[in-house]
């Protein structure tokens, strides 16, 4: 009575097919979850960068006490951030991007720290590099331009590191 069963091995084949299907679905879901995590981290880093630039601009604009009466800008600061007048340099030419705003001479701190600006640290949430231009327009009115570049990681030696996670957001305000 050595009768062979026609269904032998069906259970094994079915188990291999089901486990392959489950493994494929798990790999698909894991790939989607990883991409969603990277996307949410990029959105968070972008938000930190923008908020750091915004904080630096708010600090500089609210603390910009130079009234133009002296030959160099006075101290600008709020909180632990302070820019003293000796950081400003007198410029005898107007860069083309500001030719509609300033006449010569005007004062700038954009060349500070190897043309990066003044670093302002916000600890773990990143930093900002601040640039300020101050001068008079053709009508004799005092004008100020503030530019902050915010970063999601801390500035090292006055500039953002070259990390793959580094996100930069910039804000420029004209007064």
Mean predicted confidence (pLDDT) in 83-110? 71
DSSP structure class, residue 138:
T
Confidence band (pLDDT; 50, 70, 90) for 58? confident
Instruction: Look at residue 46 and tell me whether its pLDDT is greater than 80.
Output: yes
Please state the pTM of the whole predicted model: 0.71
Residue predicted with more confidence, 61 or 7: 61
Confidence band (pLDDT; 50, 70, 90) for 107? confident
pLDDT score, position 36: 96
What kind and span of H or E run contains 165?
none
Q: Which of 41-55, 64-78, 117-131, 145-159 has the highest mean pLDDT?
A: 41-55
User: In sequence order, what DSSP letters do the residues of 15-62 get, joined into one string?
Assistant: HHHHHHHHHHHHHHHHHHHHHHHHHHHHHHHHHHHHHHHHHHHHHHHH
Mean predicted confidence (pLDDT) in 58-78? 60
Is 103:95 a contact under the CB 8 Å cutoff? no
The Cα–Cα gap between 18 and 1 comes to 34
Instruction: Look at residue 21 and tell me whether its pLDDT is greater than 90.
Output: yes
């Amino acid at each position: 009575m050595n009768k062979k069963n026609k269904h032998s091995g069906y259970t094994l084949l079915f188990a291999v097919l089901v486990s392959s299907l489950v493994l494929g679905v798990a790999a698909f879901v894991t790939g989607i979850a990883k991409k969603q995590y990277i996307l949410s981290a990029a959105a968070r880093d972008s938000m930190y960068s923008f908020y750091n630039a915004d904080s630096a601009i708010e600090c500089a604009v609210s603390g910009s006490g130079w009234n133009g009466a002296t030959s160099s800008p006075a101290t600008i600061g709020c909180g632990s951030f302070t820019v003293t007048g000796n950081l400003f340099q007198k410029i005898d030419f107007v860069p083309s991007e500001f030719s509609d705003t300033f006449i010569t001479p005007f004062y700038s701190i954009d060349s500070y720290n190897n043309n990066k600006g003044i670093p302002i640290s916000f600890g773990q949430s990143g930093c900002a590099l601040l640039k300020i231009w101050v001068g008079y327009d053709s009508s004799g009115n005092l004008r100020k331009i503030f530019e902050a570049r915010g970063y999601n990681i801390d500035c090292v030696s006055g500039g953002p590191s070259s990390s793959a996670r580094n996100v930069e957001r910039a804000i420029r305000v004209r007064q």
